[in-house]
């Protein structure tokens, strides 16, 4: 069974109507991959006619590979890399684009490689209806706990990022999908140039450092303060910036890294967005 190509790749309710079964849609057709249960934050099965959720007005469209390439090379100024293994942990350039929504109640992102191919996704999980209501009627997002699953192109989770409820400074706990802890990404200051430390077994193994106090561009350094990666926020146009909640980033990794630093770096663009954006879309 197929349907229109405007439906993003992802897990949806089985089109055959099988109860409690999700089937993977690759962007053009249904695949043989299935998952039991209902994944929070996922849409219903693709339909011929588009329509918004009762909670969210989703105005996203599948990415045009040429636009992703433009985002990398022209907007972020990142030169094309001639290597990459095609996965979240082997590509030197990751493009993290948030799904554009007029009202954001569930954080969702798609991750592309430098060519515009979908290699992963990030979905907020574990939100109750009451929490969605709270996000809709108030601005208390920064005080709520957020949990994100980082999934591969087949929808299998690899990392879980948990940002506990905060007051001033944020902290993100990074775990493998099996629950194994990989460390913490800890906000180290609330004013001036924001800095996050990568903490592992009580030691700082790296950091995310803002370029200036208002910019959403960050240098990622190792424990010697040597830059190993960079996050650049890209401009999506005035209308999209003013009327939706989408934030898009290009993560450039300068060299091959090993865990736990590799997973920290992959999680970094999501950490910056989730940790800081709810504070009024600024770094102050």
101-138 pLDDT, tens digit per residue, is 434 445 688 999 999 999 999 888 875 554 444 444 34
Query: Quick check: helix, strand or coil at residue 162?
Result: strand
| Between residues 167 and 197, the one the model is more confident about | 197
The pLDDT-based confidence of 37 (bands split at 50, 70, 90) is: low
217-249 pLDDT, tens digit per residue, is 899 999 999 999 999 988 654 433 333 345 788
Q: Do residues 155 and 33 lie in contact, with contact meaning Cβ atoms separated by under 8 Å? A: yes
Q: Do residues 261 and 205 lie in contact, with contact meaning Cβ atoms separated by under 8 Å? A: yes
The pLDDT-based confidence of 254 (bands split at 50, 70, 90) is: very high
The pLDDT-based confidence of 283 (bands split at 50, 70, 90) is: very low
128-137 pLDDT, tens digit per residue, is 554 444 444 3
Structure tokens at 147: 């949990």
Instruction: Tell me the mean pLDDT in the region 58-85.
Output: 78
Evaluate if residue 282 carries a pLDDT over 60: no
Domains, the chain, with CATH or none: 1-51 (no CATH), 65-279 (2.40.160.200)
Evaluate if residue 47 carries a pLDDT over 50: no
156-184 pLDDT, tens digit per residue, is 999 999 988 766 788 899 999 999 999 99
44 φ, ψ (degrees, to nearest 5): -80, 175
Say what the pLDDT of residue 59 is: 39
Say what the pLDDT of residue 50 is: 37
| Between residues 210 and 41, the one the model is more confident about | 210
Evaluate if residue 1 carries a pLDDT over 70: no
239 φ, ψ (degrees, to nearest 5): -65, -45
Say what the pLDDT of residue 186 is: 93
End-to-end CA distance of the chain: 50
Evaluate if residue 266 carries a pLDDT over 60: yes
């Amino acid at each position: 069974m197929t349907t229109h190509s405007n439906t993003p790749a992802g897990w949806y309710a089985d089109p055959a109507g099988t109860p409690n079964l999700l089937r993977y849609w690759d962007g053009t057709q249904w695949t043989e991959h299935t998952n039991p249960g209902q994944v929070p934050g996922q849409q219903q099965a693709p339909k011929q006619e588009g329509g918004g959720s009762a909670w969210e007005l989703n105005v996203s469209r599948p990415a045009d590979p040429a636009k992703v390439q433009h985002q990398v090379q022209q907007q972020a100024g990142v030169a094309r890399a001639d290597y990459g293994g095609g996965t979240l942990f082997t590509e030197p350039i990751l493009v993290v684009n948030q799904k554009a929504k007029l009202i954001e109640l569930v954080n969702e992102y798609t991750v592309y490689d430098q060519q515009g191919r979908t290699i992963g996704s990030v979905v907020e999980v574990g939100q109750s209806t009451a929490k969605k209501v709270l996000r809709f009627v108030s601005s208390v997002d920064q005080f709520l706990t957020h949990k994100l699953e980082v999934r591969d192109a087949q929808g299998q989770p690899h990392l879980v990022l948990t940002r506990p409820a905060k007051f001033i400074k944020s902290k993100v706990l990074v775990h493998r999908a099996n629950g194994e802890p990989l460390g913490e990404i800890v906000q180290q200051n609330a004013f001036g140039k924001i800095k996050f430390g990568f903490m592992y077994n009580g030691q700082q193994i790296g950091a995310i450092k803002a370029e200036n106090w208002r910019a959403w561009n960050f240098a990622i350094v190792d424990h010697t303060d040597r830059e190993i990666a960079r996050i650049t926020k890209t401009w999506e146009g005035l209308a999209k910036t003013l009327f939706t909640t989408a934030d898009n980033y290009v993560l450039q990794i300068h060299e091959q890294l090993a865990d736990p630093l590799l997973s920290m770096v992959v999680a970094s663009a999501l950490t910056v967005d989730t940790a800081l954006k709810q504070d009024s879309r600024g770094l102050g």
